[in-house]
């Protein structure tokens, strides 16, 4: 059963996403998720969401991104809420850090809601454990070190490569040679180009790239949700005026990316997140074809918020 309040503490977005999924898995069916930006959210609005009933009776999950900014403005009020939280909702605070000597940390820790999201020091060990737990394959230490050497310290990319390697693991084991031969950086670049096409409002190009990717690399369907989620995180940065942090991804297309993000808006981004969560759930539960589900995501966005401006 989910705790009434969680703090996802640490700088790694991939780990925060994993921990958030763990929280979601503890929520009742039909939970209503509400995401808010901590830099802009007003206390009254957040508390209203927490204390109001879910539309379909499945409880509420209120996620506050950039919650350090939210705490800076409303620390005492949040401490009061944690002391007496609503019994039909769960509050999740996403924070890059939270000192253990602060009252808010101690209060949430008392509820059992502190979830650490610090990147591991031993990436090869993490990869080995992740391979077994999430992908049901054995990744020996030498193969894990090879994978880390090739991919780097991006946990999201490491997990993507593990998902692909697991598909062809003979006897449920991945060897170093398989890692060297299978880590396809070109496919990752093509997926990046797909999200750039979406970010600049060129949904026709995004659809073309997606269909081409599926033909060339069927495992792309297992990585698409992660990449699309990362793109929506970039949109969030653009909406709060921090697009400069991801300028290296978009280069000369950054102004188009910012303009597309503004057209989408926070409400559109929230709907896109809901749609992405829906197709991810459908793909994992066998509802429809995974590749077709991703195509539906692109097409539904193309028909609404992300159609190029005229």
Are the C-beta atoms of residues 58 and 29 closer than 8 Å to each other? yes
What is the model's pLDDT at position 310? 39
Q: Of 54-68, 126-140, 244-258, give the range with the top mean pLDDT.
A: 126-140
Q: Best-predicted range by mean pLDDT among 105-114, 259-268, 280-289? A: 105-114
- Mean pLDDT over all residues of the chain? 86
Looking at residue 249, its pLDDT comes to 77
* CA gap 204, 183 in Å, rounded: 28
pTM of the model: 0.59
Cα distance from N-terminal residue to C-terminal residue, the chain: 49
pLDDT at residue number 87? 86
The reported pLDDT for the residue numbered 141 is 94
pLDDT at 187: 61
Predicted local distance difference test score (pLDDT) of residue 309: 40
The dihedral sign for the CA sequence 268, 274, 276, 282:
negative
Return the CATH class of domain 5-116: alpha beta
pLDDT at 38 over 50: yes
Give 243-272 pLDDT, tens digit per residue. 888 787 788 888 988 988 888 888 888 888
| Mean predicted confidence (pLDDT) in 188-209 | 83
Q: What are the residue boundaries of the structural domains of the chain, listed by start?
A: 5-116, 123-182, 185-302
- Helices 141-151 and 123-135, packing angle to 10 deg: 110
Q: Which helix (H) or strand (E) holds 6?
A: strand 5-9
Q: For 118-134, what is the mean pLDDT? A: 94
> Using the 8-state DSSP alphabet, how is residue 308 labeled?
P
Q: What is the pLDDT of residue 306?
A: 43
* pLDDT, greater one: 299 or 284: 299
Is the domain covering 123-182 a CATH 3.30.70.930 domain?
no
Mean pLDDT of 285-299: 84
Asked if pLDDT for residue 114 goes beyond 90, the answer is yes
Mean local confidence (pLDDT), 20-28: 89
CB 164 within 8 A of CB 182: yes
How far apart, in whole angstroms, are the C-alpha atoms of residue 210 and residue 193? Answer: 10
Say which CATH topology domain 185-302 has.
Answer: Zinc Finger, Delta Prime; domain 3 (1.20.272)
pLDDT of 116 higher than 90: yes
Of 30 and 274, the structure prediction assigns the larger pLDDT to: 274
Confidence band, pLDDT 50/70/90 cuts, at residue 219: low
């Amino acid at each position: 059963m989910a705790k009434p309040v969680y703090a996802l503490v640490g700088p790694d977005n991939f780990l925060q996403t994993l921990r958030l999924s763990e929280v979601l898995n503890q929520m009742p069916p039909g939970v209503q998720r509400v995401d808010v930006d901590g830099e802009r959210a007003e206390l009254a609005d957040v508390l209203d969401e927490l204390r109001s009933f879910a539309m379909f009776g499945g409880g509420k999950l209120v996620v506050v991104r950039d919650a350090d900014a939210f705490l800076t403005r409303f620390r005492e009020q949040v401490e009061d809420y944690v002391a007496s939280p609503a019994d039909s909702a769960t509050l999740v605070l996403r924070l890059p850090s939270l000192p253990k000597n602060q009252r808010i940390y101690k209060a949430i820790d008392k509820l059992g809601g502190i979830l650490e999201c610090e990147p591991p020091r031993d990436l090869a060990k993490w990869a080995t454990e992740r391979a077994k737990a999430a992908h049901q394959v054995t990744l020996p230490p030498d193969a894990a070190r090879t994978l880390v050497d090739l991919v780097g310290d991006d946990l999201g990319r490491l997990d993507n490569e593990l998902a692909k390697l697991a598909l062809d693991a003979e006897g449920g084991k991945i060897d170093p040679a398989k890692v060297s031969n299978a880590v396809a950086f070109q496919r990752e670049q093509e997926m990046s180009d797909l999200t750039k096409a979406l970010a600049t409002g060129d949904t026709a190009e995004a659809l073309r790239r997606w269909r081409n990717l599926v033909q060339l690399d069927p495992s792309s369907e297992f990585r698409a949700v992660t990449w699309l989620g990362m793109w929506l995180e970039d949109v969030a940065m653009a909406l709060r005026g921090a697009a400069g942090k991801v300028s290296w991804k978009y280069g000369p297309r950054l102004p188009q990316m910012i303009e597309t993000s503004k057209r989408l808006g926070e409400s559109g981004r929230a709907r896109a997140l809901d749609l992405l969560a829906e197709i991810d759930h459908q793909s994992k539960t066998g509802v429809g074809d995974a590749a077709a589900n991703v195509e539906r995501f692109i097409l539904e966005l193309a028909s609404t918020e992300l159609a190029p401006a005229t």
